[in-house]
Amino acid sequence: MDKELISKKDLLEQTDITYGQLYRWKRKKLIPEDWFIRKSTFTGQETFFPREQILERVGRIKELKDHHSLDELAGALSPKKKDIQMTKKDFIEGNIVSRNTVSIFEEQFGSLEGVTFQTALYLYLLERSLETGEVGWEEGKQILQTLHAHFPKLEDKQPSLVVLRKMGVVTVLLVTNFKDFYTDEKTKIAVSLSIDSEVDQLMNKLVTGGF
């Protein structure tokens, strides 16, 4: 079976949750409908999930469910339903991103006043890219340009952010259904981020920070 998938049985065993919890979280929109993948096996039809995303999502839910209602978590983990508005000052002081990251954003798009969810996501992806040590100021602006131009077309398709470097030249890609990725020996994969996973981490920071 595809190594990128995990069966429902294995998921329940590995995460120590029940069938009832899993489907209650599904009904509450804590777990996306399209993560429930039906496949034919030698025993009949079984349900599988994208391994990395579901394990991280269940972990987040278990971390937060004792302090937040399921309805609160549904809003937090479904960013398109959550109207996030905060000031630049609060965003920086909440340790979501560094001042340097905000400065790169402002050089590219102008002064940042309020921060919406989409802006927060772009800033967070830039921050995570900078943390690798493989991306500098100009490459950061290139990442922001690519996100601004193309992410809205792909956000429902499990996109990943990939930055390639070859002989000092950087190429920024947004790719969907990202699994294996190969390059020639002179090309380095400088950044590779699953945006769904980064959204979960960002929302966790926002929820625990009280935003």
Q: What is the pLDDT of residue 174?
A: 93
pLDDT in tens, 73-86: 776 666 554 556 78
Q: What is the pLDDT of residue 84?
A: 65
Q: What is the pLDDT of residue 179?
A: 65
Q: Are residues 70 and 90 in the same domain?
A: no
Local structure of 65: helix, strand or coil: coil
CA of 59: how far to CAs of 53, 63, 68, 201, in Å? 10, 6, 14, 11
Q: Are residues 103 and 169 in the same domain?
A: yes
Band (pLDDT 50/70/90 cuts) for residue 2 is: low
pLDDT in tens, 45-84: 889 999 988 998 999 888 888 877 777 777 666 655 455 6
Q: What is the pLDDT of residue 81?
A: 42
90 vs 157 pLDDT, higher one: 90
Last residue of a domain, one of 77, 111, 134: 77
pLDDT over 60 (residue 211):
yes
Q: Are residues 68 and 125 in the same domain?
A: no
43: domain CATH number is 1.10.1660.10
Q: Are residues 142 and 67 in the same domain?
A: no
pLDDT over 80 (residue 92):
yes
Averaged pLDDT for residues 100-110: 95
Q: What is the pLDDT of residue 1?
A: 45
Rounded to a whole number of angstroms, the distance between the first and last alpha carbons of the chain is 40
- Please list, residue by residue across 15-41, b when 16 or more beta carbons sit within 10 angstroms of its beta carbon and e when fewer do: bebeeebbeebeebbbbbeebeeeeee
Q: Are residues 62 and 116 in the same domain?
A: no
How many structural domains does the chain have? 2
Q: Are residues 109 and 172 in the same domain?
A: yes
What pTM does this model have?
Answer: 0.65
Last residue of a domain, one of 77, 98, 122: 77
The mean pLDDT of the chain is 85
